Structure formats: C-alpha cells, structure tokens
Amino acid sequence: ACVRSNSNRAAISHLHRQLYGRLYPVLLVNTDGSTVRVRYSEPKRILMLPLDSSTLPEAERKARLRRHFPSKPKAKEEETFEGIDLDTYKQFWKK
C-alpha cells in the first residue's frame, strides 16, 4: 500500500490536524487595560484576560455583581375600578 505524503494530498481532502500549522498575531488585553501583541495558535483578533475579583475593593466588587445580576423587576399593583365613575363613559357603550 503506497501512501502519498506530499503537497497534493491536501488538495484531495482536508488536513487531519488537531492544531493549526502556524501561529497568528493576536492582541492580548490585560486586566489593567494594557495591550500586548502575542502569537496564538488560533486566528483571533483580541484575547481578553479575565478580571480577578479578589483583588478589587469591596465597593467595586459589589457594583460588578449588581451589573452582572440585576435585581428582579418589581410587580406592579393591579388597577381597581372602584374609584371610577362609570356614568362618565356611558356615551361609549353600545345600546
């Protein structure tokens, strides 16, 4: 069984690789806002590092949690028809 291991093999089907064959330039954004150009295995534009919440002050941590998990909307009170005078709308009723 002869196996062709040359450049023509890729033209017949896709390459059977788990990783990309080269490294791509990517912009890495640190938690403090600074940026660095790095070489990454996947073609992406920007990578952002996650923010460590244990290093934040308590007020900032609570503010971030409130933004991520907003409070539930308050239930509105239902309107009652007890205080409405129905004679003022008598002209709109069908007879």
Express the helix, strand and coil content of the chain in percent, nearest 5 each.
Answer: 25, 15, 60
Measured between alpha carbons, how far is 9 from 29 in angstroms, rounded to an integer? 39
- State both tokens at 67: 């933004």
The pLDDT value recorded for residue 36 is: 94
Q: Taking a C-beta distance cutoff of 8 angstroms, is the pair 64, 53 a contact?
A: yes
| pLDDT reported for residue 42 | 85
Please list, in sequence order, all residues whose beta carbon lies within 8 angstroms of the beta carbon of residue 21, skipping any fewer than 6 positions away. 15
pLDDT in tens, the chain (95 residues): 556 666 656 556 665 666 657 889 999 998 888 999 999 888 899 998 888 888 889 998 899 888 888 888 888 888 777 778 888 888 888 76
